[in-house]
Structure 1
Amino acid sequence: MRVDEDSEQVFSNGHPASSNGSTPRKPLHSSLNGHVNGSSPSYTNGTSKKLAPGRSATYRGHNREEVVRILIQGLLDMGYSDAANVLSSESGYELESPSVAAFRSAILEGVWSEAEAILLGSRQDDRASSLPEDDQYGEGLVLAEDADRGQMLFLIRQQKFLELLDRRDLGMALMVLRQELTPLEHDIHQLHALSTLLMCPPEDLRDKAHWSGTVEESRKMLLQDLSRSIAPSVMIRDHRLAELFDHIKQSQINQCLYHNTAEPPSLYSDHICDRDDFPSRTFLQLEDHTGEVWHVQFSHDGSKLATASQDQTVNIYETETFKRLHTLTHHSAEVTYVSWSPDDTKIVTCSQDCKARVYDVETGRLEVTLEHQSVDQNYGITAAAWTPDSQGFVTASHDRNSQLCYWNLRSPKREKPEHVWPRGFRVQDVAITEDGNWLVALDPQNIIRVFHMHSYREEPPIKVTGKMTSITLSRDGSTVLVNLAIGEVHMIDLVTRDTIRKFRGQKQGEFVIRSCFGGAAENFVVSGSEDGLIYVWHKENESLIEKLSGHGRGQSGKECVTTVDWNPRNARMFASGGDDRKVRIWTNLQPPVEEGLPGFRTNLKQFFIREESARISALRSTL
């Protein structure tokens, strides 16, 4: 089991009773994780060195020993143990020396005293008889640069303590804590977290630990942690061959500017995607709004699109033919934002009239109207974000007195907020991670605020240099896109709080401009701009790959693309909205041609709206 140092949570494992915290030692053997090692006359704490006669020490410029050992590990990973043994025997190289194999076995079998002895290099009589005399372990395992042997020892003893605690051997666990862990003086805060577990009732221990695995799985995790500190020449990281293949594929994806498929590249040949497959053409133009379009958002299943406008309405379309399903007209001021519930059955709309409204998507019926208890009615609701259960959401406002409100639709008083965060700041945009744990709020005062959704506690904020206008979370919730008024889009890691990418080129400074991740595997970053263009960057290498002519001039005289969103289920479709009151649908398809030309009827039948109530015009490619 394992302790999370930040949350003081423990991952515990059950284990059969044994004396002094260690599993009874089994006879040492050369098998490890299904890996069988051959023998060789000499060892260097990790590999044998017996180069076959007539063979170069390199293979096409690569170290032959490294290649062979990785191949042996890969064969064993795939279950070809006989082939691995033949390769080891023929090449003269083995995967790991007996001392490293013994360390692996000691960790996986819970023989903690032996694991410590091998780590530290102290010889034990019962172990010495099992290892060749020339196996070089006298100095202990060879560690990676900057590795801390004391930290490794702490992790081993922590595992021992936690396993004792899990099987309720409290006396022995206390002895390990006092006599083995405390003298290391390694991490006082961690020791305190461990000591508090002694008082945890057995029925609550695993719930508190959020543990649902086995002791074997926990020991494998420990071994992975320890292996990161051992020199790779001594102990190859698990699944290294597969890891290298992943690197090769990711490198090909990074070099392919238009990679837009969830299918990984083949190892057989170099990979490149055709630019013509990228959704760079305006296929349809929706013209139902009479005011600027401020927000567009696809449903999670990609089957519908919602658009919000300055004209106080929201339109909902289905995305097969883009027939308009509903026009929502209850707001008395501009609609600033729309947000789909995770199950796509409801939609919440936000308006400058200080109200948020929840609608049933199937019927278009208004279910509930919610109002911030605002002191100044000039401050509207700027954004909303749903919780994973589709029964709650958070609304944001510029009003410092009620800038964040959490609403629960299950509550008998659902018109009243379940929780209102302490006043004192404004919120321009808001998002909730897919797991429902974190609320991310954009404070216009150059701060990204992060709150724990269950405790409502605020975490240390992320400070940004520049005025921000919008945020968008990645699917996994690990990163956030932020549009800055200086004309840049930054991608920030929510764990490290670092800016890891900067996308430049788009124009911004006066209006709220939104961006989004795009593509089958979120390989792209797309943003609107105040110059009427849509900017598309390759996410990994930050290259600007497209500048698409987006929207014309609005009533203000500006050519402003305010909002973009990518269809989550159709990698070759995204939507944009602008001050020209239009919504464009971008695909990789050629737009319909004039009536009477070949292909018109096919395109019309498949993509055009037949109802007269929905006014749609088709545009040719802008490229």
Structure 2
Amino acid sequence: MRLPEREYDSNPTSPHFHHRANSSSLSPSPKANGHRSRGPVAKVELPGATIYDDSYIDREEYIRLVIQSLRDIGYIESAATLEAESGYVMETSRVADFRRCILEGAWREAEEALEHLGVAEDDGLWEAKFLISQQKYLEYLETGKTTKALHVLRNELAPLHMDPEQLQPLSSLVMCSDAADLRQKAGWDGAHGSSRRRLLVNLQSYIPSSLMIPPRRFVTLLDQARLRQISQCVYHNAPLTSRHFSLYADHACDTDLFPRITTAILQVHGDEVWSLEWSHNGKFLASASKDKSVIIWSVGLNRNPDISLHQHLQDHPFAVGCLAWSLDDTILLSSSEQYIKMWNTETGICIRTIEAHTETVSALAWVPDGSGFISGSQDRKINLWGSDGKLRDSWGITAIRITDLAVTPDFTRLVAVGESAKDPVLPTPRGDSVTAPNTNRNGNNGNNPTPNGARTQEHLMIVYDLTTKQPELSVSLGGQLTSVKISSDSQYALVNHAPDEIHLWDLFTGRLARKYTGQRQGRHIIRSCFGGVDGNFVVSGSEDGNVYIWHRDRAILLDVLTGHGSGSVNSVAWNPRNAQMFASCSDDFTIRLWEPSSGLAHRTADVQSHESEPGGKGKGKSREPWVEDDPASRSL
């Protein structure tokens, strides 16, 4: 807003409404910020209306935002000097008065000021008044002035004809026992908290932004620019800190910091390795194998730490398919056909063996609050267990033979994938279905129907409401669905879909958001995952023995990582505490750790290979590490 020769413009609602500040408003007080006044500042006249001849940025808007930013960070005298020198002011006296009225609780003056600030009925005048009256009502209740609060409810809030669903919760607050109870039930922090400032932010949307600049507007624009640069950096894998971003240059991550080099090969399992799971603290990696064992590896978070075999859990009757760490990492779950085992991760002792399913347990997931876990099986059952291993609840018989499931981090949904059949599934004592298709390795169901064609296959993703256990969404897809992972913000489900696709489903809209292609998956279970500092990568193994990495939002294939031997790369897992490390496991009996090439040094190993003796007792034998042809890799 430029300072014209006249003291005050007669049209305060104009987007270019100006007023002339007097000398006292332009020259800082001698006491301001502890500085002495420098006297009147000469106004600078510049040609044109933009900040540069070839720029589209309006000079007035730019200067007003700079003034706002200077005030926000404490440079009050500099802001006043810039107002005087440029002839623009951040906001008019009426806007400043309105801001003061809200922050001081002068409600009647604030309501009157709304119309003077250009807020008309069509622009949401009644909604804005409702917000002010609601704040007034809550503050009266907070101070125990119930009669005045009821007067506001009946004579100010109710006549605004707002949605009754808004009024009912407000009226029930009259019954609150005290101020603390009121604040808890209303989700409101009181007159002396931040509620008035939040009210001012909410009212901002009803007032023309040319009059009342949104708070921290310059910082908002810079954040938007930074997020735009991040979205264009397909290898972005750096945290949002000042150390990784500068206003002096556009952001671009160094590709040498992207994990694409094998830094260790863990080679102790005696057969195909099917599944991997990192502990929540990122210090341990669990691997499950066809050799009927689980290994817990100690990896650590530091760059190039020693790797050691922490526990070798061998007491499984069959090959091990699934793993799940408890929230505090003290318990590891493993599944072996219809059995679930609970292990003490420190001692390696089996706490409990659970046999409640009649067919292969194909999915295990701890609930986000750590109170228990959920199991899913090809017997179509989903069970909820307590952290003590006792059954707490069950979904009963579901619509699908479950291949995998996951719980959203916000604890609202369960997403399950699998195969349905129109005819009933009749379990045998061994847990095999008399109508089940051929079973491939990894517990994967084949695609061949029974010879008489009685079985009709349908592959479904079902999203359940965790509270009601009722399906919110059921999607029928053409190929087998072998795994599901949920993004950290609970919005996306990542589903491996055979043949040769990975799908990203938006759980908020119920729509397919992305497809990732290039990897090979036809008959084996492949488990993909999200990765990176913001979960902005999708990583998957493949039946061609490679690891594939895509940019999540742009679906660009970034890398195809080679190194594993023949057979499928069955599972990948990104370290939750180290954004520059992930692991992969393969039919070649090995696990590989992948990290950036920048600053790479060899890892060292202290690994004991435990080979089974008759009777199931292990015998320790040291295995010396060896170096691959790639000098940056180390095998254990």
TM-score bucket (shorter structure): 0.7 to 0.9
* CA displacement, residues 315-373 of structure 1 (integer Å, 9 cap, x when unaligned): 11111333222111222223222122222222122332x2322212111111222333x
Question: Equivalents in 2 of 1:235, 1:484: separation in Å?
Answer: 51
- Is 1:429 matched with 2:378? no
User: Could you tell me which residue of structure 2 aligns to residue 482 of structure 1?
Assistant: 495
Do the aligned partners of residues 446 and 617 (structure 1) sit closer, same or farther apart at CA in structure 2, a change above 3 Å counting? farther
The within-5 A match list for 1:185-200 is: 185-200=161-176
Question: Which moved further from structure 2: 216-225 or 490-499?
Answer: 490-499
Question: Equivalents in 1 of 2:592, 2:583: separation in Å?
Answer: 6
Amino acid at match of 2:135: Q
Do the aligned partners of residues 569 and 105 (structure 1) sit closer, same or farther apart at CA in structure 2, a change above 3 Å counting? same
Question: Equivalents in 2 of 1:364, 1:337: separation in Å?
Answer: 17
User: Could you tell me which residue of structure 2 aligns to residue 159 of structure 1?
Assistant: 135
Question: Equivalents in 2 of 1:69, 1:195: separation in Å?
Answer: 42
Shift of 1:100: 2.4
Question: Equivalents in 1 of 2:511, 2:565: separation in Å?
Answer: 36
2:524 counterpart SS class: coil
Decide whether the 8 Å contact of 2:183 with 2:190 is kept in 1.
no
User: Could you tell me which residue of structure 1 aligns to residue 71 of structure 2?
Assistant: 76
User: Could you tell me which residue of structure 2 aligns to residue 325 of structure 1?
Assistant: 310
Question: Which moved further from structure 2: 50-59 or 303-312?
Answer: 50-59
Question: Equivalents in 2 of 1:55, 1:189: separation in Å?
Answer: 55
User: Could you tell me which residue of structure 1 aligns to residue 231 of structure 2?
Assistant: 254
* CA displacement, residues 282-312 of structure 1 (integer Å, 9 cap, x when unaligned): 2322232233322111222222110112332
Question: Equivalents in 2 of 1:84, 1:160: separation in Å?
Answer: 33
User: Could you tell me which residue of structure 2 aligns to residue 180 of structure 1?
Assistant: 156
Amino acid at match of 1:351: S
2:324 counterpart SS class: strand
Shift of 1:78: 0.9
Decide whether the 8 Å contact of 1:323 with 1:614 is kept in 2.
no
User: Could you tell me which residue of structure 2 aligns to residue 275 of structure 1?
Assistant: 255
Do the aligned partners of residues 542 and 162 (structure 1) sit closer, same or farther apart at CA in structure 2, a change above 3 Å counting? farther
Question: Equivalents in 2 of 1:108, 1:492: separation in Å?
Answer: 44
Do the aligned partners of residues 478 and 370 (structure 1) sit closer, same or farther apart at CA in structure 2, a change above 3 Å counting? same
User: Could you tell me which residue of structure 2 aligns to residue 393 of structure 1?
Assistant: 373
User: Could you tell me which residue of structure 1 aligns to residue 590 of structure 2?
Assistant: 582
Decide whether the 8 Å contact of 1:142 with 1:234 is kept in 2.
no
Amino acid at match of 1:57: A
- Is 1:54 matched with 2:21? no
Amino acid at match of 1:419: D
Do the aligned partners of residues 81 and 496 (structure 1) sit closer, same or farther apart at CA in structure 2, a change above 3 Å counting? farther
Question: Equivalents in 1 of 2:146, 2:387: separation in Å?
Answer: 43
Amino acid at match of 1:355: Y
User: Could you tell me which residue of structure 1 aligns to residue 570 of structure 2?
Assistant: 562
* CA displacement, residues 194-216 of structure 1 (integer Å, 9 cap, x when unaligned): 23333344464344345556544
Question: Equivalents in 2 of 1:313, 1:297: separation in Å?
Answer: 14
Do the aligned partners of residues 44 and 206 (structure 1) sit closer, same or farther apart at CA in structure 2, a change above 3 Å counting? closer
- Is 1:241 matched with 2:221? no
Moved over 6 A (4+): none
Question: Equivalents in 2 of 1:241, 1:590: separation in Å?
Answer: 35
Decide whether the 8 Å contact of 1:46 with 1:95 is kept in 2.
no
- Is 1:442 matched with 2:416? yes
The within-5 A match list for 1:215-614 is: 215-262=192-239, 263=241, 264-319=244-299, 320-352=305-337, 354-372=338-356, 374=357, 377-388=358-369, 390-400=370-380, 402-409=381-388, 415-426=389-400, 427-434=402-409, 437-444=411-418, 446-452=460-466, 456-458=467-469, 461-464=472-475, 466=477, 468-485=481-498, 487-495=500-508, 499-549=512-562, 551-554=564-567, 560-589=568-597, 603=602, 606-609=603-606, 611=608, 613-614=622-623
Amino acid at match of 1:356: I
User: Could you tell me which residue of structure 1 aligns to residue 447 of structure 2?
Assistant: none
1:158 counterpart SS class: helix
Question: Equivalents in 2 of 1:566, 1:194: separation in Å?
Answer: 46
2:127 counterpart SS class: helix
Shift of 1:516: 1.9
- Is 1:141 matched with 2:119? yes
Question: Equivalents in 1 of 2:103, 2:334: separation in Å?
Answer: 54
Decide whether the 8 Å contact of 1:288 with 1:615 is kept in 2.
no
Question: Equivalents in 2 of 1:52, 1:44: separation in Å?
Answer: 27
Question: Equivalents in 2 of 1:501, 1:223: separation in Å?
Answer: 39
* CA displacement, residues 496-553 of structure 1 (integer Å, 9 cap, x when unaligned): 5555554343344533322222223333221223333322122343322112226443
User: Could you tell me which residue of structure 2 aligns to residue 117 of structure 1?
Assistant: 112
Question: Equivalents in 2 of 1:385, 1:610: separation in Å?
Answer: 29
Question: Equivalents in 2 of 1:101, 1:591: separation in Å?
Answer: 54
Shift of 1:44: 5.2
Whose Rg is larger?
2
Question: Which moved further from structure 2: 358-367 or 269-278?
Answer: 269-278
Question: Equivalents in 2 of 1:504, 1:233: separation in Å?
Answer: 47
Unmatched segments (≥5 aa) in structure 2: 1-5, 21-42, 300-304, 419-458, 609-620
Shift of 1:117: 2.2
Question: Equivalents in 2 of 1:425, 1:477: separation in Å?
Answer: 23
Question: Equivalents in 1 of 2:210, 2:543: separation in Å?
Answer: 54
2:307 counterpart SS class: coil
Do the aligned partners of residues 443 and 177 (structure 1) sit closer, same or farther apart at CA in structure 2, a change above 3 Å counting? farther
User: Could you tell me which residue of structure 2 aligns to residue 130 of structure 1?
Assistant: none
Question: Equivalents in 2 of 1:473, 1:459: separation in Å?
Answer: 19
Question: Equivalents in 2 of 1:167, 1:492: separation in Å?
Answer: 48
* CA displacement, residues 120-172 of structure 1 (integer Å, 9 cap, x when unaligned): 34xxxxxxxxxxxxxxx4xx3379xx964333333222223333333343333
RMSD over aligned Cα atoms: 3.3
Decide whether the 8 Å contact of 2:340 with 2:361 is kept in 1.
no
Decide whether the 8 Å contact of 1:182 with 1:191 is kept in 2.
yes
Q: How many residues align?
A: 535
User: Could you tell me which residue of structure 2 aligns to residue 106 of structure 1?
Assistant: 101
Amino acid at match of 2:412: W
TM-score, normalised on structure 2?
0.75
Amino acid at match of 1:77: D
Shift of 1:585: 1.3
Amino acid at match of 1:529: S
* CA displacement, residues 20-61 of structure 1 (integer Å, 9 cap, x when unaligned): xxxxxxxxxxxxxxxxxxx96445556655895233210131
Do the aligned partners of residues 198 and 340 (structure 1) sit closer, same or farther apart at CA in structure 2, a change above 3 Å counting? same
Do the aligned partners of residues 369 and 211 (structure 1) sit closer, same or farther apart at CA in structure 2, a change above 3 Å counting? farther
The within-5 A match list for 1:78-97 is: 78-97=73-92
2:347 counterpart SS class: coil
* CA displacement, residues 445-500 of structure 1 (integer Å, 9 cap, x when unaligned): 63442445xxx334772444636432323334454433333644444455555555
Question: Equivalents in 1 of 2:412, 2:195: separation in Å?
Answer: 27
Do the aligned partners of residues 178 and 83 (structure 1) sit closer, same or farther apart at CA in structure 2, a change above 3 Å counting? same
Decide whether the 8 Å contact of 1:408 with 1:418 is kept in 2.
no
Question: Equivalents in 2 of 1:590, 1:53: separation in Å?
Answer: 53
Question: Equivalents in 2 of 1:213, 1:549: separation in Å?
Answer: 59
